[in-house]
Amino acid sequence: MTDNSDLKFCVHCGAELDDGAMFCKSCGAQVERSDAPVTMNPYASMKENSMNNRLKVIGICCIVYAVLAIIGGIVFLVSIDSLMEQVITDPSWPETAQQLIDMGVVTDLAGAESFMRDVFTYMGYFGVIIGIITIIPAYSCFTKKAYMPGLVGMVISTALSAASVIGLIIGVVFVVLYCSCSDAFKKQTF
């Protein structure tokens, strides 16, 4: 067992060295001797900086995504009437309405119009909800607090964004990157 006052780390790989070691047990490099013992792992700060940078990038992306989702949702909600006018004046609307009737989704043309209005309304609320949920991981990334709520928020946002393959892939990549930074949260409290 080594005495912590003589604790040293390999300057090549950052592995902890045994007291009096001539070679690193991890990478095999020759131990560089000096009179003053190295008491801090030089790679620990590099790793911490790397995690902090990843968290900043994830946090910025979460904020951008949240803002776009909220704005998109609000735009949908305030422009439902113009969207409905575009739908019912489209030459293919009678066919689409008939397909909805044939599938048993609605019983008549008025029901088809009401159904489309509801779809646009839900899409608007859906965007706003995804945006609000995505603010949680952004907060978590910038403060390095609330790791689990941030992770849950990111997973929920990814699941809700899974309507597109690209949204799912991007979400999974960010969840993995976020999880790889979990050590940055260990020193923090909620």
Q: State pLDDT tens for residues 131-141.
A: 999 999 999 99
d(CA 166, CA 157): 13
Q: What is the pLDDT of residue 124?
A: 92
Taking only the tens place, the pLDDT of each residue in 81-132 is 999 999 999 999 999 999 999 999 999 999 999 999 999 999 999 999 999 9
Residue 4: its pLDDT value, please? 42
* DSSP conformation letters of 73-87: HHHHHHTHHHHHHHH
Terminus-to-terminus CA distance in the chain, angstroms? 36
Nearest Cα neighbor of 65 from 151, 127, 149, 108 is 127
Computed over every residue of the chain, the mean pLDDT equals 84
